[in-house]
Chains A and B, each alone.
Chain A
Amino acid sequence: MTRPRGLLTLASVAVAFAAADTYVVVLCLPDMMGSVGLSIDELQRAAPILSGFLLGYVAMLPLIGRIADMRGRLPVLTASLVLFALGSLVTAASYDLGSLVAGRFLQGVGGGGLVPVTLALVADLYPVERRSVPLGVVNGVQEFGSVVGPLYGALILAIGDWRDIFWVNLAVAAALAVAVDLRAPRTGRRRPDWIGAVLFLALVGAVLLVMRQPAGLITSVRWGAPFVPFGESTSVWWSPLGVATTVLGIALVLWLLLAPQAYGRHLVDLRGWWASTRQADLPGAVLLAIVLGGVILAFATADPQVQVFSAAGPWYLAVSALALVGFVVHARRTPRPLVPRGAFRGHPAVAAMIVSLFVGAALIAALTDIPIFARATVYSDSQLRAALVLVEFLVALPIGAVAGGLLARRLPNGLVAAAGLAVAAIGFVLMAGWGQDTLHHLSASAVLAVTGLGFGLALAPVNATLLAHTAPESHGVTSALLVVARMVGMLVGISALTTIGLRRYYAVEADIASPHDVCGGLSTRCSAYTDLLQHAAIEQLQAVFLGAAVCALIGAAVAGFGFGRTPRTH
């Protein structure tokens, strides 16, 4: 292998980039909601913008490691980056909530593929005894990425709008994909697949035309006809151009499947990929995705004014439950399941996974709802300044992480993690009491910093507990699964906390008085009434913060009682 370290560097940059993308949307969520027509009192419907990415990430993360073992690291790395780039394209060009979530999901699938491949690269390059440092570096860049993600978003928002974030993503991911692909060894000299390449470019162009509906073309007498939907339909895809795009997509797939080798190196070896995906426990990954997708839908379709679940909600959950049973049964039968049997033998290892889950749920509440809170109270005219409120939290998080690592050397892991999460819980309880102008005060910064510090403290002890109680040869898989647990916590947390928070708000508030009553019968708008509306918006966020505090407390309890005594290695 040539220049393997360079490849690892590229892969690490890609991992940091994908991690940054998980949280990049938290800043512009209010504006993205507006762009797809969601109102501020429909927060629960916006949750899939975040959880769609997490779902793709979680479904792919365990699967990709296997595929990388079979197909080699480089092609999987390139493919993940290409998928990530395509997801960015769909997100940037999205025209409604469905297309936005589809784009985010595709981004997640690509992003989720990067981590296990990079970990596998480390295993290829370093002998067992020298792996811990580079593994730590990979974990480090991932954490670093999630911290700088919102700031990177803020940087672009300072000069553009939220779509620009994803156009930049597209460019960076495409550049990284090319850089990685250039390092791939070239076997033989075959003609490139020109027909495949032309079909692919035409498909991308057509998808962009259909999704963006350029005004200059659709109002043109000469060029607009193919954009007009058939009959009474309003779907942009059920039009001559939309159908042609679909046919183009099918043609590309058929070409890649059926075209003879004589036409040159295939653009994508679809048959080969499909074969390795099937060997890598695809049913397990699909079942897991159905479990989580059902949970997302159950909460996202709710109308919290009425109840926590929509009429279809219990059905989505039933499908989830069935898929979960299927997943467990499948894991017992298949020779190489997604989660290796016996990977979590010790109780503390299971406890670490559970803590991770609740940390994810509480963390995502902070990351999403603090900027929205800022927007609703003091920075209504600037999404950038609203986003920058998170800075104190984000800076404190890695400081806490380092401190947690140092403390865990002298004190039991369970104690450090429990203390950190208890501090975070207190932070959330304080946030739940924030009012209209709290963010103007220094005390708010202190609360944010302390909460971030608390979360940070818990990270290292949780990782250390997991590693101490799992077999060394499965550390790669179990570390990945710890990330998965946190992501699942985020994904369920963002959906459940918002919906339950909103439901709680409506249950307690029932209704605010009519403007006539509030404004003394003379007028239907007065500052008292506007304040009341704003207060209501704040209260739904306070309910979410309280939910996050409960999650952090549960995490603290599980860590405190479940981690046990850490076996000393020396």
Chain B
Amino acid sequence: MTTSPARRALIALALAPVTALALTGCGGSAGDDNTSPADALAAAKKAMDSASSWHMTLSTKSQPPDGNGVLKADGVGTHDPEAWKGDVEAMIKGLHANVPITAIDGKVYAKLPFTLKYTTIEPSEYGAPDPADFMDPDTGLSALLTQLDGARKTDTARAGDQIVTTYAGTLDGSTVRKIIPSASSSGTFETTVNINKDHQVTSVSVTGPFFSGDDAVTYDLTVDDYGQDVKITAP
């Protein structure tokens, strides 16, 4: 049996995607520069604080052992005014609930499950932070960056189409508690921060005793869409 051109073409066609796959696997190089970890983190904090707004997600894949806790927060924050708007996915008595939240002017408006209107709530009573506080340069998310103990550059990684530099260190429980109130204040939290070429934080991963008990739980924070024109108003 000889292989006719048509058959060869057919085999080539059949194998084309495999070749394409192999080819797309290559490429991409790390942008290496010689800034110190402290400088890089300080620059990243400045980028966060000076942006008029950013979009963030904060999430964990772990299940809170007693069936109550925050699983995910996905929303946009602005600095002027200090405000946050998005969805919080909480586990309440073992059931998942999506709660739309708007936080502005020191008030937190929530549309609780099975209700039709927004009501104001005191988030600390729900074991949750006021998400508008995430935006505070002194106690919010950006403050975590400069409070990282023993910060060191560890690796380069990929975040979508960007190549990022990874910094690792630890955070105090008392610092982490301002973001996730259920965190143990005496605990130490292993933290990695990814920063892109534009000195913007793309993601932060914090691992430690977030829930009661000593089990290590990881919360992942992603930050993107820096400086979009966003207006948040009370509902």
Contacts and interface: CB of A to CB of B under 8 A. Distances in A.
Contact of A220 (B13, B121, B122, B158): B158
Contacts of B213: none
Interface stretch (B45-53, B89-97, B132-140, B180-188): B89-97
Interface SS of B by simple majority? mixed
Contacts of B92: 530, 533
Interface string A500-538: 000001100111101110000001110000100110110
A20 B16 CA distance: 41
A221 B119 contact: no
Interface in A11-65: 30, 33-34, 37-42
Nearest to A505: B114
Interface string A237-270: 0001100110110011011001110100000000
A534 B93 contact: yes
B5 interface: no
Contacts of B113: 39-41, 533, 536-537
B114 A533 contact: yes
Contacts of B160: 228-229
Contacts of B158: 218-221, 224-225, 228
Given A37-B89, A220-B158, A251-B13, A506 B94 contact: no
Contacts of B18: 202, 248
Given A30-B96, A514-B119, A222 B13 contact: no
Nearest to A512: B115
B156 interface: yes
A9 interface: no
B32 to A, nearest CB: 11
A247 B17 contact: yes
B21 A244 contact: yes
A438 interface: no
Interface stretch (B23-31, B33-41, B78-86, B143-151): B23-31
A97 interface: no
Interface string B61-87: 000011100010000000000000000
B75 to A, nearest CB: 14
B216 interface: no
B234 interface: no
B98 interface: yes
A41 B119 contact: no
A128 to B, nearest CB: 49
A244 B24 contact: yes
Nearest to B113: A41
B97 A39 contact: yes
Contacts of A195: 11, 14
Contacts of A505: 114
A258 B10 contact: yes
Nearest to B72: A37
A255 B98 CA distance: 46
B157 interface: yes
B163 interface: yes
Interface SS of A by simple majority? helix
Interface residues of A, number: 64
A40 B116 contact: no
B25 A223 contact: yes
Contacts of A251: 13-14, 16-17
A210 to B, nearest CB: 11
B121 A537 contact: no
Contact of B28 (A221, A260, A383): A221
Interface in A366-380: 375-376, 379-380
B220 to A, nearest CB: 10
B157 A524 contact: no
Nearest to A205: B21
B11 to A, nearest CB: 7
A78 interface: no
A525 B14 contact: no
Given A30-B95, A244-B24, A381-B94, A255 B10 contact: yes
Nearest to B91: A34
Contacts of A202: 17-18
Contacts of A376: 93-95
A305 B116 contact: yes
A527 B42 CA distance: 44
B93 A523 contact: no
A41 B154 CA distance: 44
Given A258-B10, A510-B116, A525-B122, A228 B161 contact: yes
Interface in B96-124: 96-98, 112-117, 119-122
A540 interface: yes
Contact of A525 (B17, B91, B126, B159): B126
B14 A254 contact: yes
A476 interface: no
A380 B67 contact: yes
A206 interface: yes
Contacts of B112: 515, 533
A226 interface: yes
A241 B23 CA distance: 11
Contacts of B13: 251, 254-255
Contacts of A37: 89, 98
A39 B89 CA distance: 8
Nearest to A536: B114
A199 interface: yes
A505 B115 CA distance: 11
Interface string A120-143: 000000000000000000000000
Contacts of A512: 114-115
Interface in A335-391: 375-376, 379-383
A40 B115 contact: no
11 contacts: A30-B94, A37-B89, A38-B98, A199-B14, A221-B29, A251-B13, A251-B14, A251-B16, A258-B10, A376-B93, A381-B94
Given A37-B89, A244-B20, A381-B66, 12 more contacts: A34-B71, A206-B21, A219-B157, A224-B158, A241-B21, A254-B14, A255-B14, A305-B116, A382-B94, A515-B112, A524-B125, A533-B114
3 nearest CB pairs, A to B: A380-B94, A224-B158, A536-B114
